């Protein structure tokens, strides 16, 4: 098995349930922004939009088990709240409140052009397959942005996506995301609806010590495995997943 130190730059921090919680009248909450505005960047201010999973505490650089063993993992981080629906259950206690170092990208055409160029280069470099985690922070900010990812999946056969969205499945963006999973297949677009009560294709947050009978506790958080790269549950199983509150 690949050593954890080679998969991730930083070790896991166990969820404590004591993360930073904003008050409803906080400027970031009212304005729909991160509390770390100096960590928000336009596309022309960074070298890459897609970062290796090695940079993430939870993700890991390369899949180590299952049929996707050897595939590299990349992540995309947008600005929390600025790209998220206000209906998100974690508008005030987003774990981005605890991630001062994260490099957040501004959504829009410039970012999408940058992502497309990087995806095409990665598809050529890894024709056997690669994974992109959407989104470490942030969410789908428009229907057009969801459709951008569908186009990428249709044009780049090696690309596979997994992640979470706080959009209601019945909303315009939620329906668009569901359509991508239907058209491209769950194995290509494993996108879970955060907070949804479903036993399949959803994700929920539980308090420390709590259990959700309709969901599997994240193995990386429970200590059953090291990180996403050594697990694969998020992109292999449709069963809903529970995460401990940060």
- Best CA proximity match to 205, nearest among 86, 91, 101: 91
What pTM was estimated for this model as a whole?
0.90
| Of 64, 184, 71, residue with least CA distance to 128 | 71
Q: What is the pLDDT of residues 101-127, one digit of tens each?
A: 999 999 999 999 999 999 999 999 999
Q: Which residues contact 170 (CB under 8 A, 6 or more apart)?
A: none
Give the pairing type, strands 241-244 and 216-217: parallel
Mean pLDDT of the residues in the chain = 92
d(CA 58, CA 73): 11
What is the Cα 171 distance to its own chain's centre?
Answer: 19
DSSP string for 104-141: EEPPSHHHHHHHHHHHHHHHHH-TT-EEEEE-SS----
pLDDT tens column, 38-55: 999 999 999 999 999 998
pLDDT at 246 over 70: no
């Amino acid at each position: 098995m690949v050593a954890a130190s080679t998969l991730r730059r930083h070790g896991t921090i166990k969820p404590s349930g004591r993360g930073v919680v904003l008050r409803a009248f906080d400027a970031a909450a009212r304005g729909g922004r991160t509390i770390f505005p100096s960590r928000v960047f336009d596309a022309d201010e960074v070298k890459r939009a897609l970062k290796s999973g090695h940079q993430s505490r939870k993700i890991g650089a390369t899949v180590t088990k299952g049929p996707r063993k050897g595939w590299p993992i990349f992540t995309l981080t947008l600005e929390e709240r600025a790209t998220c629906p206000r209906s998100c259950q974690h508008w005030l206690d987003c774990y981005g409140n605890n991630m001062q170092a994260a490099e957040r990208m501004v959504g829009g055409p410039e970012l999408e052009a940058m992502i497309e160029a990087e995806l095409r280069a990665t598809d050529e470099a890894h024709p056997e397959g690669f994974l992109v985690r959407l989104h470490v922070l942030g969410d789908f900010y428009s229907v057009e942005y969801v459709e951008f990812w569908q186009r990428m999946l249709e044009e780049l056969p090696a690309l596979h996506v997994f992640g979470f969205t706080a959009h209601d499945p019945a909303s315009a963006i939620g329906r668009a995301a569901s359509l991508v999973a239907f058209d491209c297949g769950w194995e290509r677009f494993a996108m879970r609806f955060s907070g949804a009560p479903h036993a399949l294709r959803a994700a929920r947050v539980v308090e420390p010590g709590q259990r959700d009978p309709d969901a599997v506790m994240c193995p990386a958080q429970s200590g059953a495995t090291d990180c996403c790269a050594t697990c694969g549950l998020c992109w292999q199983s449709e069963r809903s997943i529970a995460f401990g509150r940060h």
